[in-house]
Amino acid sequence: MRCSLVTASLTAAAVLLNPAVAAPAASASSTSSNGTTPMQIRLAYAGPTGMVVSWNTYSKLERPTVRYGLSPWALDKTASSNVSITYPTSTTYNNHVTITDLEPDTLYFYQPENSNSTVPYTFKTSRPAGDHTPYTIAVAVDLGLMGPDGLTTHVGQGAANPLGPNDTNTIQSIQQNLNEIDFLWHPGDIAYADYWLKEEIQGFLPNTTIADGYKVYESLLNQYYDEMTPITAYKPYMVGPGNHEANCDNGGTTDKKNNITYTVSICVPGQTNFTGYINHFRMPSPQSNGLGNFWYSFDHGMVHYVQLDTETDLGHGFIAPDEPGGSEGEDAGPFSTLRDAQTNWLEQDLASVDRSKTPWVVVAGHRPWYASASNDSSTICEACREVFEPLFLKYSVDLVLSGHVHVYERNAPIRTFDVDPNELNNPSAPWYITNGAAGHYDGLDSLVYPLQPYSRAAQDTAYGWSRLTFHNCTHLTHEFVASRNGTVLDSATLFKDRKCGWEHEEGQGQQGNGN
């Protein structure tokens, strides 16, 4: 039952007695005289010849500008915008500049204006569709803040799954492998700033009042983007919406000791309805006719990537989990005024793919519908399956990635609950992999046994991320990399028997493996 904002605040003030607040982000005066020093730099593809450069500042910029060029000693070109935006509760402004008319697959050097770095950052533009050069990407879902206020070597009372004393965390692990990946894909649950109340109730963070909780939320969010900058300032950071972007209270947090259940009613404007997510990113929807940061697609070499929204706008009469009336009861979305906007877009997008140029089609959405997990509507998105799966089958999607369940599970290719008889050796059904084990405070779930009959490899004890390598038009390898030490805990290769329209293709045999 929802409590009112006033009631929740008064109750929390009585329960959470310590007035201390987790340290908010530094003030503008602590970083520069006018708060214009760039921080939290992040990149995103903007078509094959474009790149979005985003960064945050403590002060509004009149004309956000990026200098760039082909040499670190000659940043002789500039790109600007008028996008310097903030929202209620935010301590910073989000600045977005789209650089266009770049050469594909080319290394550029760049600097946002007012940078205090003496060495330019770099990015590499997208590989053109039809380029069959092998490459690797990283995928991390359900990735949150690391360090003293997030996932670390200890947890609060009632929590579990801390890092080991010598473990490398997932952000560090991906950074160690940065030179081998083209970009990082993060399909939902970013930062876990909405865990602030759970962390306080469990005694992990100092207690504050509900009324001041937004300061803790914003602090965790800023720390996360700071922590990601060594990755996201150099590699495109492609994101999708997850449930933890929807509100400030972890979808409902219970203080069992005091028998209090908090709901989204305690959240202040700016921390509901994906507001921070909408403001922080600029995904390639303009180039793919998608919608904001919610659904979009892009080509990169021999692969067509599709990011879907499993949280809102399912269409066909279904209410998504985070929409009003959904399974988690959040006041979020829908974001399109058109009926069946996302599924209509998805069909048009998949129908337009030129499989001679991009033979691989890979789709990501936050929530799974095939997983060895608790079978309830907040975990297994059956509505998502009914909406999306027919299109995946119709247009021969190769791989479907998800998270939400904080485990790793590699399934067989599946067609409406039935395992494809070919398994990974030229299946006609999509291959489904769920990897929500990237890590955050209290960040692993337990698999439900017996495992589903379509499950082929699963674990719920190690944090890790996915490494996807596209060898050629016929072979794709997925690896689960354990963040703690970089070991590969599971590997499998999908084989598709097809001709791709280019010469000198390097074959790798005629079998998939890892079944």
Q: Which helix (H) or strand (E) holds 420?
A: none
Query: What's the CA angle centered on 169, arms 485 and 456, to 5 degrees?
Result: 65
Copy the structure tokens of residue 435. Answer: 């990897």
3-state secondary structure of 422: coil
Distance CA 161, CA 155 (A): 8
Residue 505 CA: distances (Å) to CA of 75, 284, 477, 508: 38, 30, 17, 10
Cβ atoms of residues 215 and 24 within 8 Å: yes
pLDDT in tens, 267-290: 998 999 999 999 999 999 999 999
pLDDT band at residue 47, thresholds of 50, 70 and 90? Answer: very high
The predicted structure's pLDDT at residue 503: 42
pLDDT in tens, 382-395: 999 999 999 999 99
The predicted structure's pLDDT at residue 375: 86
The predicted structure's pLDDT at residue 500: 77
- Looking at residue 243, what DSSP letter applies? G
Cβ atoms of residues 310 and 343 within 8 Å: no
pLDDT band at residue 431, thresholds of 50, 70 and 90? Answer: very high
The predicted structure's pLDDT at residue 405: 98
Q: Which helix (H) or strand (E) holds 105?
A: none
DSSP calls for 444-496:
---PPSSPPTTEEEEESS--EEEEEEE-SSSEEEEEEEETTT--EEEEEEEE-
The predicted structure's pLDDT at residue 472: 97
Task: Report whether pLDDT(83) > 70.
Answer: yes
Q: Which helix (H) or strand (E) holds 157?
A: none
pLDDT in tens, 210-264: 999 999 999 999 999 999 999 999 999 999 999 999 999 998 899 999 999 999 8
Q: Which of 47-51, 215-219, 376-380, 470-474 has the lowest mean pLDDT?
A: 376-380
Contacts of 173 (CB under 8 A, 6+ apart): 464, 465, 481, 483, 484, 486
The predicted structure's pLDDT at residue 513: 65
Task: Report whether pLDDT(398) > 80.
Answer: yes
The predicted structure's pLDDT at residue 324: 87
Task: Report whether pLDDT(294) > 60.
Answer: yes
- Across 215-219, 331-335, 505-509, the highest mean pLDDT is recorded for 215-219
Mean of the per-residue pLDDT values of the chain: 91
| Percentage, residues of the chain above pLDDT 90 | 85
Average pLDDT over residues 68-78: 97
pLDDT band at residue 60, thresholds of 50, 70 and 90? Answer: very high
Distance CA 94, CA 90 (A): 10
